[in-house]
Structure formats: C-alpha cells, structure tokens
Amino acid sequence: MKNVFCLVFVAFLLISCDDGDLIVTDFNFDNKKLQWCEDSDSQVLFNLNNDQVHEAIAFRFTLNNETAQFLTTEEGETTIPLSSANQIIYRVFDGEVESSYFCNAIPPVSPKVVEEYRTTSGGEVLITTTLLNNTDHDGDGVLSTQEGITSERDTDEDGIPDYLDIDDDGDNILTRVEIEVTADNSVNNFPDSDNDGTADFLDADDDNDNTPTRNEDWNLNNNPADDRNEDGLAHYLNPAITDSFEVTTSRENIISRGFRYLVTVENLTLSKQGGDGEQIRLENYELGYYDSPSEQITIEPSGTSEEGQ
C-alpha cells in the first residue's frame, strides 16, 4: 500500500513541475472547512483529505499577544508572520488520518508520515474575521437591511437598534412571532393586523384600541400573545377588549452570534523534510475557514452586551 501512495504523491508533484521549481496550483483539499484544536501553548487549524491520498495541511501557531486575538469577536484581519513558531505543515500518510491526529497531545503511532513539508520563514498568514449571521444579525426573520441597519433605527427607543432587537416595538411579542401572525392586511409583506399602515412588529398597539399591546398581558407573563378564552384571538389583537394591566418588565434580548475565520497564506514556501530540499511554492493559498460555534449574547436595553452561554 505504501508504494501506491508514494506513486500517487510523485505524480502529484510531477504535474506541478514548472521551470525547475515545484510550483503547485492547489492541494487536493476541495472541502475548505477547517478544524481547530488548541493546547496550552499552541493552536492548530487543519484540514484532512482521505479521498485518494491521505493528506493533511495544518497551521500550527503559538499564543502570544499578537495571535491571542484568534477567535476574536470583532470583524477584522489578523496577520501572523510565518516563523519557526508559526508553521504551515503538509503531510502525506500511509493510512487514514483523523482529527485526533492533531488534537491529541501525543500524535498517534499510526498512520505514519510518508512525506512532510514545512514552512521555514517568510510569508504570512492572514486570518479574516467576519460575522456569520450578518444579513439578519438578531435572527428575528427580518433582514438587517430592512431593519434600518445603516441608520441604526431604534423603533422602541430602548437603546437597542432594530437590527439587534428581537422585539423591535418593545411590546413583549417577539418580532419573529409578529411577522408570522395571520392578518388580512400587510405592509411590505409583513402583517398589519389593524391596517394602520404600520406592520405589527413595529406597532406597539397592534389592534389600535389605544391600549398598548404590552399592557394587554392579562396573565402578566411578559407575553401578551396568550389567548385568555382560547377563541383564537389574544387581547392584543382584539380591539373590543381594552383591559389594561401594568407591565413594567420586558423580554430579555438574547441573540445568537458566530464568526467565520478565513485563513489565507501569502508567499507560501513549503520545504520537504529529510529530502533534497524540494519546495512547493504558492503566492496565495486559501487554507480554508473555521466557523466558531454560535454563542448566546444578551444585549441590555442600555445598548451594552454581555457574553454568556
């Protein structure tokens, strides 16, 4: 089996020959989704391919003031110069390689490394951080562009702009619920129960009976949508019922947030280890991207945010 893999790898390199230098146009990592592991002193972003050859490419880098910003929660770009401490490593194996290969403190005995290339110095890695849910930041079903993101529109004036507010009109019925209400009339394809020209999710008095929706909360559970007599119509949508209850609390504003970390390399030079100094060179190489797990963020009405689980 080892010979088969060697032949495949040699063919891969020969195809890539150009003017004496080994310049490849790409590796065989069609899937650009990276995995990530960390230990006490280094982090590894890596990609595995077991389709035809068994190969792995990894960026192993150390934690310091500069790189500690990996997994940052702000959009932007981090540059990490390649060095002996920050290396791209490309390996071909004699058998299937699994995630545990990079995530274990001690690499497993098997599979064995057949070929290894490493960067030395020169070149740099760019990590570009972007928000994953940047078209609907609060996930309420209304696009951020429709929520006035550029002007930071704040319909209920609670300090949380609409594009981050899961209850845009502050009536304690979540926007996601208000855009699903069945109504005869609509504004920009959003339900307008009282046909007053303001969509329900932006209307603090949805039945236009002069009792604010938030005060039509008969059981005081911060959700006026509860249907008291189960006739299919909650008080807040029934203009014939104007009972008003004192409600001073609001729904917690919790949104889900995740980031994508796109990893690209500029001036990549990989040198073969234990060989005759063969090199693989690429001006630009997209290693791939890592998506952080989504986290729950609570945004307080003052506009400040707290990170939590």
List contacts with Ca ion (CB under 5 A): 138, 140, 154, 156, 158, 160, 162, 165, 168-169, 171, 175, 200, 203, 205-207, 209, 211
Instruction: Count Cβ neighbours within 10 Å for each residue of 252-267 and write b for 16 or more, e otherwise.
Output: ebebebebebbbbbee
Contacts with 97 (C-beta within 8 Å, 6 or more apart), sequence order: 48, 50, 54, 55, 56, 91, 111
Distance CA 244, CA 211 (A): 6
Cβ proximity to Ca ion: between 129 and 198 the closer is: 198
Minimum CB separation of residue 96 from Ca ion in Å reads: 46
Q: Is the peptide bond before 111 cis (omega within 30 degrees of 0)?
A: yes
Minimum CB separation of residue 257 from Ca ion in Å reads: 14
Is 246 in contact with 278 (CB distance < 8 Å)?
no
Cβ proximity to Ca ion: between 175 and 269 the closer is: 175
Nearest to 298 by CA among 246, 248, 250, 247: 250
Minimum CB separation of residue 155 from Ca ion in Å reads: 6
Cβ proximity to Ca ion: between 55 and 168 the closer is: 168
Q: Which two tokens stand for residue 245?
A: 């209850």
Nearest to 286 by CA among 5, 3, 21, 25: 25
Minimum CB separation of residue 301 from Ca ion in Å reads: 8
Cβ proximity to Ca ion: between 55 and 162 the closer is: 162
Minimum CB separation of residue 208 from Ca ion in Å reads: 7
Minimum CB separation of residue 38 from Ca ion in Å reads: 35
Cβ proximity to Ca ion: between 95 and 139 the closer is: 139
Number of H helices, E strands in the chain: 3, 16
Which residue's C-beta sits nearest to Ca ion?
Answer: 165
101 by DSSP, 3-state: which? helix
Kind and range of the H or E run holding 76: strand 76-81
Cβ proximity to Ca ion: between 121 and 219 the closer is: 219
Minimum CB separation of residue 300 from Ca ion in Å reads: 12
Cβ proximity to Ca ion: between 65 and 302 the closer is: 302
